[in-house]
Amino acid sequence: MKTEKLVGEALRLPTNAISYVVSHKLAVMYPEKALLETEDWAFDLQNYFSEKIYTLTDKISIHNQININWDTTEKQILKSVENA
């Protein structure tokens, strides 16, 4: 089952079943990968991956939502992932 199909099917499920079904099917589809789930608002995913232990890659087949802001003090672009 492709990931896109999985998401489409999962969105038809009752709200309280989506998380369980998606995490279970992803674990079956990709047994060599790790699945990270959290509701902790303080967990900074980008900071976690910036330690260079793991890599975080945007997948172009998914509609990624990335916030881009201009830091006027440091004169640089700031990117933060909202959904990717």
Kindly report whether the global pTM for this prediction surpasses the value 0.85.
no
Q: How far apart are CA 68 and CA 80, in angstroms?
A: 7
Q: Clarify whether residues 58 and 25 are in a common domain.
A: no
Kindly tell me if the per-residue pLDDT of 84 is higher than 60.
Answer: no
Q: What is the enclosing helix (H) or strand (E) of 78?
A: strand 76-83
Q: Clarify whether residues 43 and 83 are in a common domain.
A: yes
Q: How far apart are CA 75 and CA 72, in angstroms?
A: 5
State the residue range of the domain holding 84.
39-84
Q: What is the 3-state secondary structure (H, E, C) of 59-70?
A: CCCCCCEEEEEE
Q: Clarify whether residues 18 and 46 are in a common domain.
A: no
Q: Clarify whether residues 25 and 43 are in a common domain.
A: no
Q: How far apart are CA 21 and CA 16, in angstroms?
A: 10
> pLDDT (tens digit, 9 = 90+) per residue, 31-55?
888 766 666 777 777 777 776 666 6
Q: Clarify whether residues 57 and 69 are in a common domain.
A: yes
Q: Clarify whether residues 45 and 84 are in a common domain.
A: yes
How many structural domains does the chain have? Answer: 2
> What 8-state DSSP symbol labels residue 43?
-
Q: Clarify whether residues 48 and 33 are in a common domain.
A: no
